[in-house]
Amino acid sequence: MVVNNLLKSGFLAAFFLTFCIVKLLNFNLIAQQTYLQMKNKSLVSINDYSKGEQLKVLEAAREFEANPVQTILKDYVIASLFFEPSTRTRLSFESAINRLGGKIVGFSEAANTSVKKGESLRDSILTVANYSDLIVMRNPVEGSARFASEISPVPVINAGDGSNQHPTQTLLDLYSILKTQETLDDLHVAFVGDLKYGRTVHSLVIALCNYNTTFHLVSPVELKLPSSVKMHIKEKKLAYHQYTSMEEVIPQADILYMTRIQKERFSDPLEYERIKNSYILEKEMLHDTKRNLRILHPMPRVNEIHVNVDADPRAYYFQQALNGVYVRQALLSLILGIR
Amino acid sequence: MNDNVKELKVSAIENGTVIDHIPANAVFQVIKMLKLDDFDQMVLFGTNLESKKYGLKGIIKVSNKYFKPEELNKIALVAPHATIIEIKDYKVARKTVVETPDDIVAIVKCFNPNCITNKEFITTRFNVVDKEDIRLKCHYCEKITVKKNMEFT
């Protein structure tokens, strides 16, 4: 009897152990497959990456944050092609590459390049691909990154194509939200300002549709979120609320994502003058918030967040910019298949 | 005047394809889309013909040519209710209607002047996101071209 029971327990233990091993192997296999799928895969639009792939990037970013200086890119040359000036994105990419020991070739504006002589983007990409293992590109022409990714023999990361896509910003926004909230699920995210033209807002809204987000959309009537973006929220049957002032939103929000309202977006300058101060965040407006509230901004800021907010522990926009380095390190390593 | 009599306004063909119920103002566009202006067999067409269903309509008859569905479906952009009739030995062998395809390649220009397809020599590609109102999402710049902005290459 005792022997029987022992045998039974032994069988059960062996079965449980085998089950765990199979599960673990399966999990590793799925993780391995995700890594393999991401190798050499260009990133043009945030929708190019599945939710699983986006989470892999965030997971890798966390590892790079813990250990940002490595030499894993020492044998790689990255082309950094900025056809229009950019401060944050370019320096963040270059910092990410340098901290991983990679070499950079490229330019920070098109003025002194063959583009000025009339060279096509096709020729520029095909030439530069000969000199590099990966291309990071910003170009003011919309769709240029998709086109480059289709003709380039090396992977392309879109660092912004006109008003279209800026997926690395979206990933660093997601990372900042994950880091400050310890989850991406079930959050109340308030977007404030220009929701019509802001590409960072559009991409982040679309990405957050994967995480059961409740959206609070604060903007002047002229700058409401376009229906093409709202369509994504509706498709996932998520809740969204629209407002024209931010006071009532602040107490509900886990994330307050501020954006700049530009004067040139208004046909009537008087209308701009009337509303411009309604979308400026000041410290005294933060008296009644959730403890976990964090304020994000894709930057550059002009006056939409008063400097008196900067020292507040809920202000997170400068750390957000730093997170961009870790996210870009993660992307470079995953796309080059180094992880 | 019934349909049969109207058909006779454009002579019958022995073998080939009749494309009927084309909006009167789209006949020449359909000819261009199907490259019939460069076709070496007999092509007959009529426009501003009376139609009970559509008011005025156009019709094209192409001798000795049968189209693949993917060749014909692209005309749904300008002739969404077109009827395709295959004729064999003067008789109707098959009758179908056009279906709006999921993707449109090389026919339409992207309305966004800042799209790469309007800057370099690139074949345009669109995903049809709304088949009823015809809304095309550019594969490159991701902007939506609607029917009123549609220009053909």
DSSP for residue A225: P
**Which residue's structure tokens are 């890798």?**
A60
Shortest Cα distance, chain A CAs vs residue B111, angstroms: 12
Q: Where are the domains of chain A?
A: 69-165, 168-323
Under a CB-based contact definition with an 8 Å cutoff, are residues A82 and A109 in contact?
yes
Note down pLDDT in tens along chain B; length 153 residues.
445 555 466 788 999 999 999 999 999 999 999 999 999 999 999 999 988 877 899 999 999 999 998 889 889 999 988 999 999 999 999 999 999 999 999 989 999 999 999 999 999 999 999 998 899 999 999 999 998 899 888
Write the pLDDT tens digit of every residue in A270-311. 888 887 777 999 999 999 999 999 999 999 998 899 999 999
Task: State which amino acid sits at residue A336.
Answer: L
In total, the C-beta contacts within 8 angstroms joining chain A to chain B are 47
User: What is the pLDDT, as a whole number, of residue B1?
Assistant: 45
What ranges make up the beta strands (E) of chain A?
A: 77-82, 103-107, 134-139, 156-161, 188-192, 214-218, 240-243, 255-258, 294-296
Q: Please indicate whether, in this complex, the C-beta atoms of B122 and A147 are within 8 angstroms of each other.
A: yes
Q: Which of A23, A51, A74, A88 is catalytic?
A: A88
Q: Please indicate whether, in this complex, the C-beta atoms of A165 and B144 are within 8 angstroms of each other.
A: no
Domains of chain B: 3-97 (3.30.70.140), 103-152 (2.30.30.20)
Contact status of A303 with chain B (Cβ, < 8 Å):
no
Pick out chain A residues at pLDDT < 70. Answer: 1-7, 11, 19-35
Is the CATH number 3.90.1170.50 carried by domain A69-165?
no
Is the CATH number 3.40.50.1370 carried by domain A168-323?
yes
Q: Can you give the C-alpha Rg of chain A in angstroms? A: 23
What's the complex ipTM?
A: 0.84
Contact status of A42 with chain B (Cβ, < 8 Å):
no
Q: Please indicate whether, in this complex, the C-beta atoms of A143 and B141 are within 8 angstroms of each other.
A: yes
